[in-house]
């Protein structure tokens, strides 16, 4: 097969020469010299398209992740009262918590559960996660009151607000019936695992 050759015209400008080359390339079948159909695509547009694709993928991944659920090892409901025992003697304070930890928000009293047991309590859609740090209630536990909550937790469950002080919830409510509890993990302190039992 005879090789095809071409000769550029003399005395023509650079732009004309380039045009002639491309024209001849097309005539002789040199497709690699022809302009690409995507030559006008701008790098910024390509980058933006990739960014949009990446953002969409991240959004789908985030939507697919559901909020983690609390895995309870024991669930139930009870009537709850409130307390704040810090050794001050205020409002019938019986002394510092039995666990040896200072009185604080999220410290609950149970008549039987092991100390440091992690518990989540829920009432009318409001929840607080705390731990068992004291013993109680005493006599009321024989009447079905199986949790004593710190004043802050108690008031939050009532209406989502804060108590008037450590010793005063700021409401006339003394007990909450139907408080749901979820034991998340048992503590390693003194006490008995399982369904709460009256004190004594």
User: pLDDT value at position 188?
Assistant: 95
* Domain coverage including residue 94: 74-185
User: pLDDT value at position 8?
Assistant: 47
CA 125 to mean position of chain CA atoms: 17
Residue 111: what are its φ and ψ, rounded to 5°? -75, -15
Residues of the chain with pLDDT under 50: 2, 6, 8-18, 20-22, 24-25, 27-28, 30-39
Q: Is residue 157 part of a domain?
A: yes
User: pLDDT value at position 45?
Assistant: 65
Cβ-proximal residues to 52 (8 Å cutoff; 6+ apart), any chain: none
User: pLDDT value at position 70?
Assistant: 66
Whether residue 152 contacts residue 86, with contact meaning beta carbons closer than 8 Å, is answered with no
DSSP β-ladder status, 126-135 and 74-83? unpaired
User: pLDDT value at position 78?
Assistant: 98
Domain count, the chain: 1
Q: Is residue 91 part of a domain?
A: yes
- The CA angle 89-90-94, to the nearest 5 degrees, is 45
Which CA distances in Å does 55 have to 42, 44, 50, 62? 20, 16, 9, 11
DSSP sequence for 110-166: ESSSPTT-EEEEEETTEEEEEEEEEE--SGGGGGTEEEEEEHHHHHHHHHS---SSS
User: pLDDT value at position 35?
Assistant: 46
Q: Is residue 79 part of a domain?
A: yes
Q: Is residue 109 part of a domain?
A: yes
Nearest to 110 by CA among 73, 70, 81, 71: 81
Q: Is residue 38 part of a domain?
A: no
User: pLDDT value at position 14?
Assistant: 46
Q: Is residue 103 part of a domain?
A: yes
CATH number at residue 131: 2.40.40.10
User: pLDDT value at position 89?
Assistant: 83
User: For the chain, how far is it from start to end, CA to CA, in angstroms?
Assistant: 110
Q: Is residue 153 part of a domain?
A: yes
Q: Is residue 18 part of a domain?
A: no
Dihedral sign from CA coordinates of 74, 75, 77, 82? positive
């Amino acid at each position: 097969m005879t090789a095809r050759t071409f000769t550029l015209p003399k005395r023509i400008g650079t732009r004309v020469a380039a045009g002639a080359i491309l024209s001849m390339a097309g005539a002789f079948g040199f497709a690699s010299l022809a302009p690409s159909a995507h030559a006008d695509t701008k790098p910024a547009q390509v980058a933006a398209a990739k960014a949009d694709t990446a953002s969409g993928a991240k959004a789908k991944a985030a939507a697919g992740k559901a909020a983690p659920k609390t895995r309870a090892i024991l669930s139930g409901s009870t009537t709850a009262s409130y307390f704040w025992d810090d050794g001050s003697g205020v409002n019938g304070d019986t002394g510092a918590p039995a666990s040896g930890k200072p009185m604080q928000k999220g410290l609950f009293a149970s008549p039987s559960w092991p100390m440091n047991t992690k518990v989540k309590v829920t009432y009318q859609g409001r929840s607080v996660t705390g731990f068992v740090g004291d013993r109680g209630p005493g006599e009321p536990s024989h009447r079905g009151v199986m949790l004593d909550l710190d004043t802050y937790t108690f008031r939050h469950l009532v209406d989502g607000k804060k108590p008037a002080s450590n010793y005063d919830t700021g409401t006339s409510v003394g007990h909450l019936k139907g408080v749901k509890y979820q034991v998340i993990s048992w503590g390693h302190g003194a006490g008995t695992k399982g369904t709460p039992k009256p004190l004594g």
